[in-house]
Structure 1
Amino acid sequence: MELQNNIAVTELRQRLRDQILTFEPSDFEKLALQIFRYQADHNPIYKQFIGHLQIDPGTVEKLTDIPFLPIQFFKTHRIKTGAVSKVKTTFESSGTTGQQTSRHDLYDPELYETISEQIFREKYGDLNHFHILALLPSYLERNNSSLVYMLQHFIKASGSPFSGFYLNNTAEMLKNLRSLIAKPDGKQVLLMGVTFALLDLAENEADLQFLKQKNDLIVMDTGGMKGRRREMLREEVHDILTSAFGVPQIHSEYGMTELLSQGYSSGSGLFTAGRTMRILLRDINDPLSVYDHNISLSKTGGINVIDLANLDSCSFIETQDLGRFGEAEGSFYVMGRFDNSDIRGCNLMVL
């Protein structure tokens, strides 16, 4: 009987996985509710959490009815759905000494790689149209970062001999960047870096004078001071970086250890959720009061994320970030964090 149940659960998972890769945007809610019912039945921690809230999964008929699992559970429990068995890798969040870190098991690397590439392509275009220069020293000092994993895939998919990670060899990176700017080959250059490393580079503004010429460089801030610098307002950071790199806007990525989907910002802190991601907001004083994009755009709330790519963990996460909606459907701002929550390395910096 147990074997038959496992086979049935495995077949259900495969059907949902296929839909995640092919669904139309108009079918997002329908698929999210299917995944909710699957996880409510086959994720022991999430099932227990729903039970404590005395919510009958059968009564959940819209996205705002779904209970969202507090993100702190990834620090204290192994969050797993279904009959998947072999963990391929475990992502771990960064943290200062003494902090308890989050852990997120990855069972299906191909799904993560495909979804993250789809999201990037829809925002920026094919990866093979880019040279990707990754400046992520603190992430490379550990081997379990989801951001490094994603960028390893991006760098390989770009097919560029200039693409790669630059840990302490910023001189080589600048040499390659100068060459790519001086002799464009039709590909765009994406410089993607952790905040403190980009600021370190910007301090040597004399070395960046060649960028003052017209260029289509994309500078993307992944967030994070890692205790190396004082926390700064996003606007302050981006003013420094736009001046130093000679670009009109600083792009940003919204992602975290507990999520397999990403959001991207082309500037001004306005993010667009990826195709497998939906942002909802919750009332600051009542976490079970959740609302969608129809709410007043000026209202700030806690960010809840639906991440369909989290098929094997939990797709419904209550984060500790504060946000509000942008004017366009699917757009949002990250306003900061709740008081007394840990500073996270993979988010936009604290405001």
Structure 2
Amino acid sequence: MRPDSINIISDLLSFIEGNDDPLFNETALKLFRFQFQYNLPYKKFCQTKRKTPLTIKNWQQIPPIPIQGFKELTLACEPPEEAEAVFMTSGTTNPNAKGKNYHPTLAVWDASMKGPFKKFVLPDVEKMTIFVLSPAADLNQNSSLSRYLSNAVTYFGTANSRFFFSEAGLDMGAVAAALKECEARGEAVLLMGATFAYVHLLDYFHEQKCRFRLAKGSRIFDTGGFKGQAREVEMEQLYKMFAEFFDVERNMVINMYGMTELSSQIYDQTILSTYENGQTIFAKAGPAWVKTVILDTDTLEPVSDGKVGVIAHYDLANWNSCLAILTEDIGYRTEHGFVLLGRVQGSEARGCSIAVDQLLQSNRG
């Protein structure tokens, strides 16, 4: 790697270790200068908006790149062929157009995952028995979620932790047997998996007439959306089923918001707030090196708290691609964080569509 990259990595690891929010603006501006210099497609996009390191004085002025750019362009400061890992989107919309995020080293990605997981998911315990319901890194090396799940077990799992997904799929019978054993021992367990994995698992438990009374302190972690190929399930409906089948109440259920295009994750504050003050906060929050802003869907200018808009994230851990990402999600801010409402639809996407057009036009030829 070039010396500038090594220096950036060192700065970011120090920021993450110190959780140093006052340095966010300074670090973001330094990182923007780095990306403007070495990430040519992003530089061209910024130039169309007349945004350069000379004109930007605050991190909120940094242009967020539409996530569509990760599908259409190679967004990397270091040579992509030298990446230690390449995380790809699932390509459910278009299998031939998968978004790619190149990681010359996973040191920053891993550091960004570890501390917030402990803070938001396990604020009250050092380790826990973790049962993983989705593919781990050995089955899908191009999945950021798979690495995330494997890291969770490596960093925070007890010796009884297990992975239940293989090339044959999810072994639901083995999950049921393992949960019964934990129930009998009074051992708390953390279930982790993609949201829709639970739908199929609960269907199986319903057919088998399985119910569990998991030990106090047990919790359920899900990530991803609530739409599957088979049918759509409402979030609150699924969470009620968690209480029915596992005896795990809503305040011990946590949804993680993550995406391939980012290098950090954002969490419900359910478990953390319950542990800290006994009040359940559902709004999502992230670590100090991630800032989330809500933008007007037409103008892409910041909106006031409570007003619905498109979500943009500023993630310092995204050092090799673009620290500022314009998502296709909508939500609104509260005093505690932000609430995710779903995907941008139809006419709501005007500002996003204009940004995508600007990105692609600036990189033609």
Instruction: State the Cα distance separating 1:96 from its structure 2 match.
Output: 2.6
The alpha carbon displacement at 1:269 in A equals 4.7
Check conservation: 1:84, 1:312, Cα contact below 8 A. no
Q: What is the 5 A alignment of 1:4-153?
A: 6-7=2-3, 9-23=4-18, 24-82=20-78, 86-96=82-92, 98-99=94-95, 100-123=97-120, 124-125=122-123, 128-136=126-134, 142-153=140-151
Residue 309 (structure 2) aligned to one of 285, 301, 313: 301
Give the alignment's Cα RMSD to 1 decimal: 2.7
Instruction: Determine which of 332, 338, 342 is the counterpart of 1:332.
Output: 338
Letter aligned with residue 86 of structure 2: T
CA distance in 2, matches of 1:308, 1:164: 32
Asked if the contact 1:71/1:318 (under 8 Å) is kept, the reply is: yes
SS at the partner of 2:57?
coil
The ranges of structure 1 where at least 4 consecutive aligned residues each deviate by more than 6 angstroms after the TM superposition are 138-141
Q: How does 1:269-288 map to 2 (within 5 A)?
A: 269-287=282-300
Deviations 1:155-202 (A, max 9, x none): 1223523223212222222222222233245xx421012222212222
User: Residues 214-259 of structure 1: CA distance to partner in whole angstroms, max 9, x if unpaired?
Assistant: 5321111112457433233322332333332222113100001111
* Cα separation, partners in 2 of 1:335 and 1:138, compared to 1, 3 Å: farther
Amino acid at match of 1:263: I
Q: TM-score, normalised on structure 1?
A: 0.83
Report the equivalent of 2:195.
195
CA contact (8 A) 2:210 2:245 kept: yes
Contact 2:9–2:108 (8 Å) recurs in 1: no
CA contact (8 A) 2:212 2:247 kept: no
| Structure 1 counterpart of 2:287, one-letter code | G
Q: SS at 2:212's partner residue?
A: helix
Write out per-residue CA displacement over residues 73-99 of structure 1, whole angstroms, 9 at most, x where no aligned residue.
Answer: 000111112578721121111133744
Counterparts of residues 167-178 of structure 1 (less than 5 Å): 167=165, 168-178=170-180
Secondary structure (helix, strand or coil) at the match of 1:67 reads coil
Which SS does the other structure have where 2:232 is aligned? coil
Conserved in 2, the CA contact under 8 Å of 1:131 and 1:163? yes
- With the length of structure 2 as denominator, give the TM-score of the two structures: 0.80
Deviation at 1:51, TM superposition (A): 0.6
Q: Which residue of 1 aligns with 2:353?
A: none
State the distance in 2 between where 1:278 and 1:232 align. Answer: 30
Q: Which residue identity is paired with 1:290? A: P
Q: What amino acid does structure 2 have at the position aligned with 1:195?
A: T
Read off the aligned partner of 1:230 and give its amino acid letter.
R
Unaligned runs of 5+ in 2: 271-280, 350-365
